[in-house]
Structure 1
Amino acid sequence: MLHHKLINPKSIAVIGASNNVQTPGGRVLKNLQNHNFKGELFAVNPKETEVQGVKCYQNIKDIPAVDLAIIAIAAKFTLETIKILVKEKNTKGFIIFSAGFSEKDTEGKKLEQAIVDEINAVGGTLLGPNNIGLINQNYAGVFTTPIPKLDNNGADFISGSGATAVFIIEAAMATGLTFSSVYSVGNSAQIGVEEVLEHLDETFDKNTSSKVKLLYIESIENPQKLLKHATSLIKKGCEIAAIKAGSSSAGSRAASSHTGALANSDVAVDALFKKAGIVRCYGRNELITVASIFMHPELTGKNIAIITHAGGPAVMLTDALSKNGLNVPEIKGKESEELLEKLYLGSSVSNPIDFLATGTAEQLATIIDYCEHKFDKIDAMVVIFGSPGLFEVYDVYDVLHKKMRDCKKPIFPILPSVVNVKNEIDYFVSKGNINFPDEVLFANALGKVANTAKPETIEIKTIANNLEKIRTIINNAENGYLQPQQVKELLLAAKVPVVNEAVCSTKKDCLNTVKEFGFPVVMKVVGPIHKSDVGGIILNITSEERLIASFDTIMKIEGATSVLIQPMKKGIELFIGAKKETNFGHLVLCGLGGIYIEVLKDIQAALAPVSNTEAIEMIQNLKSYKIIQGVRNQKGVDEPKFAEIIEKISNLVTIVPEIAELDLNPLLGNSEEIFAVDARIRIEK
């Protein structure tokens, strides 16, 4: 929990205050005064007696007790300053603008930790260092401009980057998006994005708190905390959008299994956001657009009416909405004919509803009324309106302003004419409205919002009967890949169906096994990790002679210790994997198996624990889903069984955190059964 003296201080000291407003210490003091901080202000500067009309102390020891200290001095002086504040001034809130700490070198990191230790000792809260500060409705504790319009219904914005926060604020203000608070966490020495989100969750009031949260994250230090509080806030009625920067595949580590190679940190971020219900964005404008959509009434269906006086933007918008799974349904019938008669000749009402460049404000109002009251299949409206610059269009924006408040269906205004209609747009925004400058960016963002599911509560189904057996296998295992028999025992204990198999070290063992299994069989090398890469899989062995020859061939492979024999089965090759991804927990993956996993890389991933609903969604979101369903008279796979095995693997890795990597590749599936044919499990205790 962030200390209340950081959030709502009654007194603030600016250490390093200056009359020069082009310095951090000067600008923050000006911002505090200009934006109505109502408490006491103190300035500290050894060379001044008054700064910007505020009494200035030459020595920090001379100031009265103070709730919050904003520090804008060189890094090397900060520790001694902090010691005085915590021990003599009862200060509990700290914002450090200064750079030169952990982002610089090892010595800077040590200094930063020493500061954190001092603040922790008194139960205080530190924002920063190396940040731009904090803006909320109590004070503007930043050294940057502009200061956005603040209100309870604006967005709470938490940023790991101060510069990015400024750029997002600037762009947002132009569209009319407002803020409730802005937190810049800088180096996150004591609190980061996760801790601020935790604070917003634990202090959330459904009547007064903002219901929109925006995050710019450069490093997720505590994924489980982020997941917990994002999920909690969304279940309380909030909506969250986030950018996670620095997650390119170039940063993923080399791994020995298919799962390890496919499940990198960016896949983990996607899975975490999806499980929490966070809309993931990849750029500033996308984040602002998603946030602006959040500020409008929630979309309850997928049928959109496009109302426009310009053909081109409407066509591009229609294409983009359709690609994002939203519909622009044809409007026809008696009511549409009625509407057409009220518009100028040449207008069209089939959807898009084009009322021409000469269309009037009155006509726009009529169209909106028809969409609201008479076109039942329409769930929302998008209004595109600019101007060729021939005349003013204030009356159009007055209509939009009124209808956006009167109508139950959402109305999204796309106002692309940023030069010809600049004054009118400024007027529209000044009345508390938010607009969208680009139709395609809007459509892509609306699609993301519409297609991001709310989080669900998941219970882990413990394998109660076999838990002791599972723990015994793991406790007796050494780090590294389990032996085939251990893998089989573990999967059976987890109730994962496996094909019958036997490990054979001699030709006699092979012959005895075949007497039990019957022909045809498949033989696989035991030892090398990637069997197919070394020619270690021989299929459809139908005679004793070929069995003996295959044994000799496989045992010549470098690293071979024995062979694995299984009955030859047929079915669609499937894949399920799991990987422990640092502090995210386990990622569970699924897709088509065999060589398809390497060639197509068509996978879906979710963070464990995975519910049955999530597992089914993973299967159905695969690009290869039609193969799983069955194509060209070929029977498909039993989807409920596939989902059930995904869920079982999720449960297994949840109760056995020592599993570092797990590959079931392939499983063979048909309409009646699915079973694991090949499996690898690596343990890391």
Structure 2
Amino acid sequence: MLHEKLTNPKSIAIVGASNNVHTPGGRVLKNIIEHNFKGKLIAVNPKENKIQGIKCYQNINDVPKVDVAIIAIAAKFTLETIKVLAQQKNTKGFIIFSAGFSEKDAAGKKLEQDIVEEINAVGGTLLGPNNIGLINQNYAGVFTTPIPKLDKKGVDFISGSGATAVFIIEAAMSTGLTFSSVYSVGNSAQIGVEEVLEHLDETFNKNTSSKVKLLYIESIENPQKLLKHASSLIQKGCKIAAIKAGSSSAGSRAASSHTGALANSDTAVDALFKKAGIVRCFGRNELITVASIFMYPELKGKNIAIITHAGGPAVMLTDTLSKNGLNVPEIKGQKSDELLNKLFLGSSVSNPIDFLATGNAEQLETIIDYCEHDFSEIDAMVVIFGSPGLFEVFDVYDVLHKKIQTCKKPIFPILPSVVNVKNEIDYFISKGNINFTDEVLFGNALGKVNNTPKPRLGKNSKSTINSTKIRTILDIAENGYLQPQQVKELLLAAKIPMVNEAVCTTKQTCVKTATEFGFPVVLKVVGPIHKSDVGGIVLNITSEEKLIASFNTIMKIKGATSVLIQPMKKGIELFIGAKKEGNFGHLILCGLGGIYIEVLKDIESALAPVSKNEAIEMIHNLKSHKIIEGIRNQKGVDETKFAEIIEKISNLVTIAPEIAELDLNPLLGNEKEIFAVDARIRIEKN
């Protein structure tokens, strides 16, 4: 929780203040003065008596008590300065611009830790070090420009990078997007993105707080805190979009199981964002576009009318919306014909509604009114209107402004003529509007917003899972892959349906077991991890003679210790996996199994705990869902049973957090039953 004195101080000291506004200490003082801070300002500089009209103290020991200290001096001087402020001046809020701490070397990290300990001792809050500061409704405590237009209904923006925050603010201002607050966390020595989000959640007021949050994250140190407070804010009516930088899999460690190879930290980020309801973005412009969409009324359906005076952008937008699951439905009938008669010859109203380059403000107003009142199939409108530069279009943008304010259906303005009608766009923005400049970027962003699910906070079900048995097995297990018998006992305790199986070390026991199971049977090597890679699986063994020959072949494989024998079953091959992913907890994965998992890599993932409903949604989101459902006279799989097993695996790893990797591959499924045929579990105890 951020200290109230940091966010709403009555007094601020700038340590390292300067008359030179091209330095951090000079610029931050100028920003605070120019943006109407109503409290007391104090400057600290050993060489000055007055700075920018503000009284200056030469020695930190001489300053009066102060709520917030903004520190812009060399790193080596910061600790002693903070000791004086924290212990003697009752300072509770600290912003450190200075670099040269944990981002530099071990000595810098130690200095940073000592500073945090001093601030923690007095219950204070630190932003930084190595950051640009904080902007909110009360003060502009940053050394950068520009300072965006501040509006309580604007966005709250939290950034792990100061430079990225500046670039996003600059780009956002040109679209009309406003800000309620900007937090730059720098090295996050004490307070990171998660803690600021926690603060925004715990101080949220549905009447006065911003309902749009933007995050730029370089490292998720506390995934569960991020999940908790992001989902909480969204459930309170907020919308959140985030960039998580560093999404490549190049740094992922090599893994021995299918699950380990398919799941990595970025998969976990995706699963976290999906579970929380966060719209994930991958660039600054996408983030700004999504935020701008958030500022308009929410879509209530998928049918979009494109209103344009330019054919090309409308075609590109139609393609983009369609690819993202949104519709541009044909508009026809009596009302459509009626509207067409009110437009210039050559216009089209079938959707896109093209009223030509000569179209005017009066015609635009008429089209919007028809979409609002007469075309019931339309849920929202996109208006594309620029200019070849022959005449001014202020009247068109006046109509757009009026209709955005009065229509119940959302109207999204795409204004691409950023040079020809710059003055008109500035005029449009000055009325409090937000515009979009690129139809494809807008279409992709609208699709992403529409397709991001609401928070899905699954809970462990009250299953009949035998937690006592599970703990007994794992408490005596050693690190590494469990033996087949241990795997079998663990899965049975978790109520995972399994095909009959037995481990055999001799031909005689093999023959006896096969007789009990009934032919045909399957033999699998015990020892090597990837059985199929070493030729360690023999299917459809129909006779004792073939059984003995297969046993002899398998036991010659390097590393073979025994064979696993199972009845030969048929069905669609499925996959369920789990992987411990650091502080994120366990990722649960599902998809088609067998070789399909390697070839198609069609996998859905979710963070545990996974509810049955969430599991069903995972199954439905698979590209291969049609196969699971049943296609071309091939019967499908009982999806309810599939979802139940996914939920049971989620329950298992919650009870057994030392499970590092788990593979059920394949499970065989049909319309009546699903059972695990092959399983692998690796334990990693602390």
Q: Is the 8 A contact 2:461 2:611 kept in 1?
A: no
CA-to-partner distance for each residue in 1:50-90, whole Å, 9 max, x for gaps? 11111111101110000000000000100011101001101
Question: In 2, distance between residues paired with 1:531 and 1:459?
Answer: 35
Which runs of structure 2 are paired with 1:348-497 in the superposition (5 Å)? 348-464=348-464, 466-497=466-497
Residue of structure 2 in register with 1:637 after alignment: 637
User: Which residue identity is paired with 1:170?
Assistant: E
Shift of 1:466: 1.5
Residue of structure 1 in register with 2:520 after alignment: 520
Shift of 1:457: 4.1
Residue of structure 1 in register with 2:83 after alignment: 83
Q: Is the 8 A contact 2:664 2:680 kept in 1?
A: yes
2:263 counterpart of 1:263: yes
User: Which residue identity is paired with 1:504?
Assistant: C
Q: Structure 1 residues 169 and 542 mapped into 2: Cα distance closer, same or farther (>3 Å)?
A: same
Question: In 2, distance between residues paired with 1:55 and 1:506?
Answer: 92
Question: In 1, distance between residues paired with 2:117 and 2:15?
Answer: 20
Question: In 1, distance between residues paired with 2:360 and 2:247?
Answer: 48
Question: In 2, distance between residues paired with 1:465 and 1:86?
Answer: 53
Question: In 2, distance between residues paired with 1:286 and 1:612?
Answer: 33
Q: Is the 8 A contact 1:463 1:494 kept in 2?
A: no
Residue of structure 2 in register with 1:73 after alignment: 73
Question: In 2, distance between residues paired with 1:606 and 1:403?
Answer: 41
Q: Is the 8 A contact 2:480 2:682 kept in 1?
A: yes
Question: In 1, distance between residues paired with 2:683 and 2:171?
Answer: 49
Question: In 2, distance between residues paired with 1:457 and 1:22?
Answer: 48
Q: Is the 8 A contact 2:465 2:494 kept in 1?
A: no
Q: Is the 8 A contact 2:608 2:654 kept in 1?
A: yes
Residue of structure 2 in register with 1:245 after alignment: 245
Question: In 2, distance between residues paired with 1:625 and 1:440?
Answer: 29
Residue of structure 2 in register with 1:628 after alignment: 628
Shift of 1:463: 3.6
Question: In 1, distance between residues paired with 2:281 and 2:35?
Answer: 31
User: Which residue identity is paired with 1:325?
Assistant: G
Which runs of structure 2 are paired with 1:274-353 in the superposition (5 Å)? 274-353=274-353
Q: Percent identity?
A: 85
State which drifts further: 540-549 or 576-585.
540-549
User: Which residue identity is paired with 2:436?
Assistant: F
Shift of 1:118: 0.4
Question: In 1, distance between residues paired with 2:25 and 2:586?
Answer: 46
Could you say what secondary structure the match of 2:589 adopts? strand
CA-to-partner distance for each residue in 1:258-303, whole Å, 9 max, x for gaps? 0011100010000000000000000000000000000000111000
Q: Is the 8 A contact 2:344 2:359 kept in 1?
A: yes
Residue of structure 2 in register with 1:214 after alignment: 214
User: Which residue identity is paired with 1:354?
Assistant: D
Question: In 1, distance between residues paired with 2:509 and 2:167?
Answer: 70
2:161 counterpart of 1:173: no
Shift of 1:147: 0.1
Question: In 2, distance between residues paired with 1:15 and 1:568?
Answer: 77
Question: In 2, distance between residues paired with 1:222 and 1:179?
Answer: 26
Which runs of structure 2 are paired with 1:524-563 in the superposition (5 Å)? 524-563=524-563
Could you say what secondary structure the match of 2:444 adopts? helix
Question: In 2, distance between residues paired with 1:268 and 1:465?
Answer: 26
CA-to-partner distance for each residue in 1:147-168, whole Å, 9 max, x for gaps? 0001110000000000000000
User: Which residue identity is paired with 1:613?
Assistant: N
CA-to-partner distance for each residue in 1:366-388, whole Å, 9 max, x for gaps? 11111001100100000000001
State which drifts further: 34-43 or 622-631.
622-631
Question: In 1, distance between residues paired with 2:283 and 2:611?
Answer: 31
Shift of 1:408: 0.5
Q: Is the 8 A contact 2:465 2:495 kept in 1?
A: no
Question: In 2, distance between residues paired with 1:251 and 1:213?
Answer: 29
Shift of 1:569: 0.7
Question: In 2, distance between residues paired with 1:42 and 1:558?
Answer: 76
Could you say what secondary structure the match of 1:249 adopts? coil
Residue of structure 1 in register with 2:47 after alignment: 47
Residue of structure 2 in register with 1:205 after alignment: 205
Question: In 1, distance between residues paired with 2:450 and 2:553?
Answer: 56
The unaligned stretches of length 5 or more in structure 1 are: none
CA-to-partner distance for each residue in 1:203-232, whole Å, 9 max, x for gaps? 000000000000000000000000000000
Shift of 1:251: 1.6
State which drifts further: 229-238 or 598-607.
598-607
Shift of 1:640: 1.4
User: Which residue identity is paired with 1:285?
Assistant: N
Could you say what secondary structure the match of 1:250 adopts? coil
Question: In 1, distance between residues paired with 2:343 and 2:596?
Answer: 56
Question: In 1, distance between residues paired with 2:517 and 2:412?
Answer: 66
Q: Structure 1 residues 478 and 463 mapped into 2: Cα distance closer, same or farther (>3 Å)?
A: farther
Question: In 2, distance between residues paired with 1:632 and 1:403?
Answer: 50
Could you say what secondary structure the match of 2:76 adopts? helix
Q: Is the 8 A contact 2:577 2:590 kept in 1?
A: yes
Question: In 1, distance between residues paired with 2:636 and 2:482?
Answer: 32
Question: In 2, distance between residues paired with 1:359 and 1:494?
Answer: 67
Residue of structure 2 in register with 1:130 after alignment: 130
Q: Is the 8 A contact 2:464 2:495 kept in 1?
A: no
Q: Is the 8 A contact 2:136 2:150 kept in 1?
A: yes
The unaligned stretches of length 5 or more in structure 2 are: none
Question: In 2, distance between residues paired with 1:283 and 1:457?
Answer: 27
Question: In 1, distance between residues paired with 2:286 and 2:228?
Answer: 25
CA-to-partner distance for each residue in 1:103-125, whole Å, 9 max, x for gaps? 01111100000000000000000
Shift of 1:42: 0.4
Question: In 2, distance between residues paired with 1:531 and 1:148?
Answer: 60
Could you say what secondary structure the match of 2:351 adopts? coil
Q: Is the 8 A contact 1:462 1:655 kept in 2?
A: no
User: Which residue identity is paired with 2:614?
Assistant: E
Shift of 1:488: 1.0
Residue of structure 2 in register with 1:26 after alignment: 26
Question: In 1, distance between residues paired with 2:249 and 2:467?
Answer: 36
Shift of 1:459: 2.3
Question: In 1, distance between residues paired with 2:462 and 2:665?
Answer: 24
Residue of structure 2 in register with 1:589 after alignment: 589
Question: In 1, distance between residues paired with 2:244 and 2:154?
Answer: 22
The normalised TM-score by structure 2 is 0.99
Shift of 1:465: 5.6
User: Which residue identity is paired with 1:110?
Assistant: K
Question: In 2, distance between residues paired with 1:464 and 1:230?
Answer: 32
User: Which residue identity is paired with 2:632?
Assistant: R
Question: In 2, distance between residues paired with 1:509 and 1:658?
Answer: 34
Shift of 1:632: 2.3
User: Which residue identity is paired with 1:280?
Assistant: R
Could you say what secondary structure the match of 2:321 adopts? helix
RMSD: 0.8
Question: In 2, distance between residues paired with 1:655 and 1:290?
Answer: 38
User: Which residue identity is paired with 1:19?
Assistant: N
CA-to-partner distance for each residue in 1:168-201, whole Å, 9 max, x for gaps? 0000000000000000000000010000000000
Which runs of structure 2 are paired with 1:661-680 in the superposition (5 Å)? 661-680=661-680
Q: Is the 8 A contact 1:197 1:229 kept in 2?
A: yes
Counting matched residue pairs gives: 685
User: Which residue identity is paired with 1:109?
Assistant: K
Residue of structure 1 in register with 2:15 after alignment: 15
Q: Is the 8 A contact 1:589 1:605 kept in 2?
A: yes
Could you say what secondary structure the match of 2:631 adopts? coil
Question: In 2, distance between residues paired with 1:301 and 1:490?
Answer: 46
